Chains A and B, each alone.
Chain A
Amino acid sequence: MSDKRLTFKKRLHIIKHHYRGKKMAPAFNAFHTFLFTPDETTHNGSHVRAADDLKRTMNTVILALVPVLLFSMFNAGYQHYSAINGFPENFSLLEHFLTWDNFWIGIVKVLPLVVVSYGVGLLVEFIFAVIKGHEVEEGYLVTGMLVPLIMPIDTPLWMLAVAVVFGVVIAKEVFGGTGMNILNPALTIRAFLFFAYPTWMSGDKVWVHGAKEGVTQAGSADAISGETILGYLAQGNEAAYQAKYSLSDMFFGFIPGSVGETSTFLILIGGLFLIFSKIASWRIMVSAVIGSLAMGLIFNGIVDAGWIPEYSKFYGLMQFDFWKHLIVGGLAFGIVYMATDPVTGSQTNRGKWFYGFFIGFISVMIRVFNPGYPEGVFLAILLMNVFAPTIDHYVIRGNVKRRMKRLKNAVVLPTDSSAAAKELKAETV
């Protein structure tokens, strides 16, 4: 409230007018509007406007991701040290998990991913904004946060940078920027890396920091492993994961996996926050959960019916309890933070039910049937991104047909001046 801030505000105002109409205006405005909501007023139409803007909407999603990010930083260290020294006997949250040692691994390994993701992505956004002369839009604020959270921990930074450039340019900017894209940019970045550098994105060596470099277990010459639960299941090695992880480990997220995907508990809280704040669609979340449970039940049913032999390579994942699919792998994270992207998802309320359902359904299906990489959430969401406009099309046709039917039943009156009206008049006279 001091005079200093007033002059700061005024000074920025003067600089804004200095840049007006110039090439660098979008770049300056991006920083300016970050500090101050602009002095823009309404013209005609609605003279008052609600408090929310796109920045606030995006910021809400970021807030919902912060607990997940913090958890993932601790978990990075916890998984690393536990792989070397073995999991602690009597696990205590404060003693074994929320430690500086663990957090330090997070700072060294997770934070750089965040920095590179935001740095490279926003740079591309700024360049496009300046070249095309539009404002820097907020879409990347969320994408930039999602990208590091869906990466394996040891992803090389240069690889991430290349993928971010690809994702932002090809998935978003060529379509016209925020609001115009067909595919979710964060998942496109993930898909790019998955197909371009599969050895860094899958297998049993990428999910725990150090495994790829061949860090050895304490007191042994064996390299540490970073197999995920789904990985064990795909090998039919159920006992191995059960020895290591309890059900509560899976739910609270003390398991290996992509950086931010492990804690179903915090994701659930983030999801509830997004539903409560009315930012993300509860319809998509609920229907995606239903879809994944449905597919899981079908697989469980196949196993129960004895249609599949135990030596089948699908047996391990098929017999996995249907509801457990939600607490391992990236399904929960994908449902809450990626499937609910309003731009790439279905836009009609009815369409959202179908869109969400198929995301859950297909995620579990791919998970079970993909022998090389037992995870399918990102592929399922990308697939449904492509189908979302089709779903909407049929939902909207329903509305149009209702209107057409009403028209068919309606008796359209002739105008007074038309020939029919004159005839009618002549008859009545």
Chain B
Amino acid sequence: MGIYYENYGFSTIFGTLYVKPKVYNNMSKDIRIKKGLNINLVGAAEQTTSKAVLSNVYAINLDDFHGITPKMLVKQGAEIKAGEALFYNKNREDMMFVSPVSGELVEINRGARRRILTLKILADKEQETVAHKKIDVEKVSKEELKAYLLNGGCWPFIKQRPYDIIADPDANPKAIFISGYTTAPLAANADYILKGKEAELQAAVNALGKLTPGKVHVSVGKSSASTLSVLQGVELHRISGPHPAGLVGTQINKLDPINKGETVWTVSPQDLIIIGELLLTGKFNPERTVALAGSSVKAPKYYTTKIGTEISTFLYGSGVNSDNFRVINGDVLTGSKSKPDGHLGYYNNTVTAIPEGDDYEFFGWNKPIFNKISATRALTFSWLQPNKKYDLDTNTNGEHRAFVVTGMYEKVFPMDIYPLQLLKACMVQDLDEMEQLGLYEVAPEDFALTEFICVSKQPHQKIIREGLDLLHKEIG
């Protein structure tokens, strides 16, 4: 614990009035986030789990692996086992991406310039899984462990910051962060989906602990009895506060912010289970508990299913209550647009269905609004009932404009970063500014909330994604 006085040099005249001792308490285990906004929506998944109908066809969407150039290892029509590599990363030949099921690779869907978009696998009735030899995490070297995860298809679950991409196995991360605190709207509750998975989680964090000279930070809700809170060998943090308190980026910023040249890895807890199971059994098990939520779902609840499964296999199990709805692979803030016959994303454990908002609203810009969420009180009345649940649709509620309003994003953006200025730096592609204003510390998801409240309806996440890609390309 140290006391640290801000020193602004020439800008001291602008800082003097505000200089106050800041206590940087790295030792503290609790974080309380004040800035943010909880988006309470109708249709939260009830905490009961059903088994989804088995899917005939499983698909891998290559967009899930941002920045990866795939090189196919099997040809169309080939028979593969579950856990067998489908393709590898062109820039990193030992990084394997494996099939979630055994069956026949029936379709390689290509787009412009023959870029692979999706791979479809027709599942066998009898599932067969590749069995790797088991390893003892305690005994193997760091390099052997990395090779095992890379070959076993679990490496893609480890993401890195900066750039929000699959981790570079050569990097030496200063810490690894796992957030088990769920604040995103309608997202799968981490406490619930991790129940009974102590062994897998412990095996996974043991392995991760070996990959970093620093700490493995694990966070849970303030009074949560999450399985994560009993793990050994990790730094446990109790988090409270509104969204985005549960986002790993917020927690990194508060606990151990990323500096230029540093790397931090992040893993989402549901993927820890798959990593743990590979280490314990030698088998890649793509099974996961998925929350089906949203106001268009009749009976929102949890389903156990596999990565790549067709969404309709559980969506229609719960029933839908309209024709005109949108299926989102992920939560409403960060997910990607899908369809009932789309497939569960590689990293997703939430599928949301909400009404499409493709209709006009008479005088929607000046009449008082009671049925939508707003961060202002400009004849919008969501401030009256902060806990009310809303049924939001996908309408933009206005047109795209230049940035006009200031000071609003800061109210929902808890990091020590100027969000508007960083967005503008990304838009004008000013690499120096992007670096100096903290682009290394953020991922697109960190800007989902500012995008939600944006009066100018700017695509914040896209701007940040493009900024990260540019910075990655130019600076590497």
Contacts and interface: CB of A to CB of B under 8 A. Distances in A.
Given A39-B395, A41-B395, A396-B421, A179 B11 contact: no
A412 B262 contact: yes
B365 A56 contact: yes
Contact of B394 (A47, A178, A402): A47
Given A48-B332, A50-B452, A277-B377, A416 B262 contact: no
Contacts of B417: 399
A221 B75 CA distance: 104
Interface in B181-216: 185, 213
B406 A347 contact: yes
B398 interface: yes
B97 to A, nearest CB: 21
B109 interface: no
A219 B213 CA distance: 96
Nearest to A279: B378
B437 A399 contact: yes
Interface in A365-415: 391-392, 394-407, 410, 412-415
A413 B373 CA distance: 44
Nearest to B24: A406
Interface stretch (A132-140, A239-247, A256-264, A318-326): A132-140
B365 A394 contact: no
A54 B407 contact: no
A395 B14 contact: yes
B172 A398 contact: no
A299 interface: no
Contacts of B11: 394-395, 397-398, 401
Contacts of A59: 365-366, 378-379
A52 B337 contact: no
B425 to A, nearest CB: 10
Contacts of B403: 179
B102 interface: no
Contacts of A138: 401
A342 interface: yes
Contacts of A391: 14
Contacts of A19: none
Contacts of B387: none
A52 B362 contact: no
B137 to A, nearest CB: 18
A342 B406 contact: yes
B394 A42 contact: yes
A394 B337 CA distance: 41
A19 to B, nearest CB: 15
Given A47-B333, A399-B437, A36 B360 contact: yes
Interface string A49-64: 1111111110110010
Pick from A9, A46, A281, A350 the residue with the most CB of B within 10 Å: A46
B462 interface: yes
Contacts of B456: 54, 179
Interface string B305-344: 0000000000000000000001010001111110000000
B216 to A, nearest CB: 15
B364 A36 contact: yes
A397 B421 CA distance: 12
A20 interface: no
Given A41-B357, A51-B369, A347-B406, A396 B395 contact: no
Interface in A17-76: 33-57, 59-60, 63
A417 B410 contact: no
Given A51-B397, A52-B398, A412-B261, A45 B364 contact: no
Contacts of A131: none
B452 A410 contact: no
Contact of B401 (A179, A397, A410): A179
Interface string A92-125: 0000000000000000000000000000000000
Interface residues of A, number: 83
A272 to B, nearest CB: 12
Nearest to B8: A398
Pick from A5, A41, A277, A283 the residue with the most CB of B within 10 Å: A41
A1 to B, nearest CB: 10
A39 B448 contact: no
B195 to A, nearest CB: 29
A41 B394 contact: yes
A361 B129 CA distance: 75
B168 to A, nearest CB: 8
B14 A396 contact: no
A398 B333 contact: no
A421 interface: yes
Interface in B353-373: 354, 356-366, 369, 372-373
Given A50-B397, A50-B452, A395-B11, A55 B369 contact: no
A343 interface: yes
A415 B172 contact: yes
Interface string B282-322: 00000000000000000000000000000000000000000
A36 B360 CA distance: 6
A40 B396 contact: yes
A59 to B, nearest CB: 5
Contacts of B451: 45-46, 49
B218 to A, nearest CB: 21
Contact of A56 (B9, B366, B410): B366
B260 interface: yes
B9 A401 contact: yes
A347 B404 contact: no
B233 interface: no
A177 interface: yes
Nearest to B330: A47
B374 A50 contact: yes
B469 interface: no
Interface string A178-219: 111000000000000000000000000000000000000000
Contact of B399 (A12, A40, A281): A40
Contacts of A178: 401-402, 404
Nearest to B143: A416
Nearest to A37: B364
B399 A33 contact: yes
Interface string B405-424: 11110100000111011000
B196 to A, nearest CB: 32
Contact of A48 (B171, B337, B394): B394
- Enumerate the 9 nearest inter-chain pairs by beta-carbon distance, A residue then B residue, closest first: A53-B398, A179-B402, A37-B364, A51-B372, A55-B365, A36-B360, A417-B170, A60-B378, A45-B461
13 contacts: A36-B362, A41-B356, A45-B459, A46-B332, A46-B449, A46-B461, A47-B337, A51-B374, A52-B455, A56-B379, A59-B366, A399-B417, A403-B436
Given A49-B397, A277-B379, A403-B436, 18 more contacts: A33-B365, A35-B363, A36-B361, A48-B393, A49-B395, A51-B380, A54-B405, A57-B455, A138-B401, A176-B402, A277-B378, A281-B407, A283-B407, A342-B405, A350-B14, A403-B438, A412-B261, A416-B169
Interface of A: 5, 9, 12-13, 33-57, 59-60, 63, 135, 137-139, 176-180, 276-279, 281, 283, 342-343, 345-354, 391-392, 394-407, 410, 412-417, 421
Interface of B: 6-11, 14-15, 17-18, 39, 41, 168-174, 185, 213, 257, 259-263, 326, 328, 332-337, 352, 354, 356-366, 369, 372-380, 382, 392-399, 401-408, 410, 416-418, 420-421, 436-438, 444, 448-449, 451-457, 459-462
